[in-house]
Each structure stands twice: as C-alpha cells, then as structure tokens.
Chain A
Amino acid sequence: MDVMVQLQRQLFDYTASLFHEGFLDEQFNQLQQLQDESNPDFVVEVVTLFFEDAERLLNELTNALSQENIDFRRLDAHVHQLKGSSSSIGAQRIHTVCISFRNSCEEQNVEGCLKSLQQVKHEYSTVKSKLETLFKVRRSGPFLVRVLICNIEMTYGETDFGCRGVSVLGSVI
C-alpha cells in the first residue's frame, strides 16, 4: 500500500535523523545487528536496561551534588558508569556530556558539575523520548490507525503531542 511505503520511508528517515543529529552513533547499529528472529526484542531490552541504569545514576548524581561536602570521587564513579552504559548503547550525546562532566569532577568544579548534570538530564530525556517513539513505530503492526498516530509523532516530533495522541486514540482502538 502506498501509505505503508510512505510510512516505512518516514521510519527510515526518522532513524537516519537520530544518527545525523548525533543522538545515536554506530554502536546502536551494532546492537541492531545482534537482533534476529531468535532475539527479536534485543535492542528494546538493552535500551530499557540503559534507561533503568541511567535513571538510577541521575538520581545518585543529583543526590551527590546536593551534599554539603561533595564527594567528587563518588560523583566521578557514577559519571563513569553513565558514560560507559551510554556508550554501550550508542547514546552519543549523553556520552559526550559525561566526558566534560568527568573533567569537572576532576577539577572539583561544582559549577561545572551542576551544569553538566543539567545537560545530561536534558540529553537523557530527549533521547529517551526519541527511542521510545522509534520502538513504538517498529512495534506497530500493519494496523493503519496506530501507524498513522506514529506518523503524526514523527512528522511533528513533539512527544507531548504524540503521547497524548497515542493514549487518546489507544483508548479508542
């Protein structure tokens, strides 16, 4: 069907844009190559683990930076972990912020750390919503309505709108 071809094209373009804009790097491709019929949910599973890990670490980082006497070594250890796992799934922007975050830890620069934390939180929520959109689209079967919802999300790129759209129409379906 013409619409399906069009939407497949959009999915392809959307994925490509994530790479082009630096949200994802080659490592994400590597993960996709590890997915097959015997392990059809591999990428989603790994990324979900990453989300859990990242959220835990972001909480730890927020905690650590709100202390009277900041333990920079502990801070650095958490950033190192976040840097590692983001690199393992190809979340390039997060990885990049972690590098400068670590520098700030080394310099015991509180301002720098706070700024990096803010940045990494922003990058995390952005890439999380983009990946969730991607997975939603892929999961959609040939059901035209669901595919159209995802089409809207991809076209407008506004996750708020998209999420609302999905939940409203989801209940309709």
Chain B
Amino acid sequence: MDVTGNVLTEMGTARELHVLAVDDSHVDRKVIERLLKISSCKVTVVESGTRALQYLGLDGENSSIDFDSLKVNLIMTDYSMPEMTGYELLKKIKQESSVFREIPVVVMSSENILTRIDSCLEEGAEDFLLKPVKLSDVKRLTDFMRGEGKIAEKQSPKRRQSDNCTPSLSTMFSLTSYHRNITSPELLPSLSPSASPSKKSRVSKKIELC
C-alpha cells in the first residue's frame, strides 16, 4: 500500500491512520493528541523536529529503519519551535529521496503570516492550519487522508460549504486554513485578492469566513 494517504484496503475498510505530531508546547501536544485520537487515529507525539527525524529514522543514526513497522501516514508539525522550525522539518522530509517525502506534512501556526504560509505550501506542505486547531480541522484532514476527500474533490465547493464552522472571536474574519488540494479552476475567483501572485497554479487558498 502506498503511504501517502490511500489507506483503504482492497476490501474498502479504512485502516488506522498513524499520525506523527510535532510540537514544543506541552499543552498543544496534549490537545492535538486528543483531537487525533477522537478522530480514530493512532498518534505519536514528539516535542521537536529532531525527535521527529529520529522517530522516522532520518537522523542519519539509523538508516536501516524498517519504515513498514512505523507506517506514518501524516505528519502534523508546529511552525515555531526552538532549534528546528516546522518549516525546516518540512524541508528535511521533502528532501528525502524515498517514501518519506511522500508523507503529507501539515504545518500549524498561531500566526497568520502570508509569507510563512506561502513558503510552507511552496515547500510541499499539504495544508497549513491556524492554531488553535479545532476538531473540524482535524476531521477534515483525516477524512481527506482516508480517501473521502478524493471522492469529495469533485464536489469540493459543496463539501467546503458544509464544513462545520463554529464562530469564534479569534478566527472570525481571519484565514483559518489553506489547502494544497487540486481544485477546479472555477474556484479560483473565490480567492482573496491578496493571494500571492507567485503561487504555483495548482495551489489554492480558501478563506473560511465563519
């Protein structure tokens, strides 16, 4: 099976998603772990990029790691971390010439900085989530990973409208998440006028007004 996200077996039953979460904040580690467990994922939480690379066997120490036994299907990393940022971790993973670069990486940040978001998406991040991460964010992500997203892509405008967006003071009128999903061209007019013109054509942004 390929590890990018197609976790449906031939029988059509959903296999368990194994998510590696990386965050230096103890509070955030606890929250993301719970969010993922509630979404029926197997979770491994680490506190730094270094630890994440160690876990994946990419730290140069143990190059003969058996990836099959780890089977990490998704990596979710905080952006602002001491020593190694989430961006640097993302780059390291995407530079791997092996199954590792195929693992989708989602970056999370409490700061809504367009250039930061752009660089993460350009570097190959699957998505960029604004903290605090909500259950609806995680559910959307895991649904997509389990293949429901692939079906929903064709109807993606409808799916996005049905996203359960609970209004909150901190996220109202702010950009909540960005998708690197391949979407149909007619969705592009709905992009914010401030969208970066240097974006690759297949990258799209969505503003959720909750």
Contact = CB atoms under 8 A, between A and B. Distances in A.
A30 B38 contact: no
A70 to B, nearest CB: 19
What is the interface of chain A mostly: helix, strand, loop, or mixed? helix
Interface of B: 25-28, 30-31, 34-35, 38, 80, 82, 110, 131-132, 134-135, 166-170
B169 A49 contact: no
A25 B170 contact: yes
A89 interface: yes
Contacts of B132: 27, 30, 87-88, 90
Given A34-B34, A80-B80, A88-B131, A26 B27 contact: no
Given A26-B170, A87-B110, A53 B26 contact: yes
Given A27-B170, A30-B134, A30-B135, A84 B25 contact: yes
B167 A84 contact: no
A53 B30 CA distance: 13
A27 B34 contact: no
Interface string A61-82: 0000000000000000100110
A83 interface: yes
A89 B132 CA distance: 8
A46 B34 CA distance: 10
Given A30-B132, A33-B135, A46-B27, A25 B35 contact: no
Nearest to B168: A26
A59 interface: no
B25 A53 contact: yes
Given A45-B30, A53-B27, A26 B110 contact: no
A46 B30 contact: yes
A116 interface: no
Contacts of A26: 166-170
Contacts of A88: 25, 27-28, 31, 131-132
B59 to A, nearest CB: 25
Contacts of A42: 34
29 contacts: A25-B169, A26-B167, A26-B168, A27-B170, A30-B132, A30-B134, A34-B34, A34-B35, A34-B38, A34-B135, A45-B30, A46-B31, A49-B27, A49-B30, A50-B27, A52-B26, A53-B26, A80-B80, A81-B25, A83-B110, A84-B27, A85-B26, A85-B27, A87-B110, A87-B132, A88-B25, A88-B131, A89-B27, A92-B169
Contacts of B35: 34
A23 B45 CA distance: 29
A171 interface: no
Contacts of A89: 27
Contacts of A33: 135
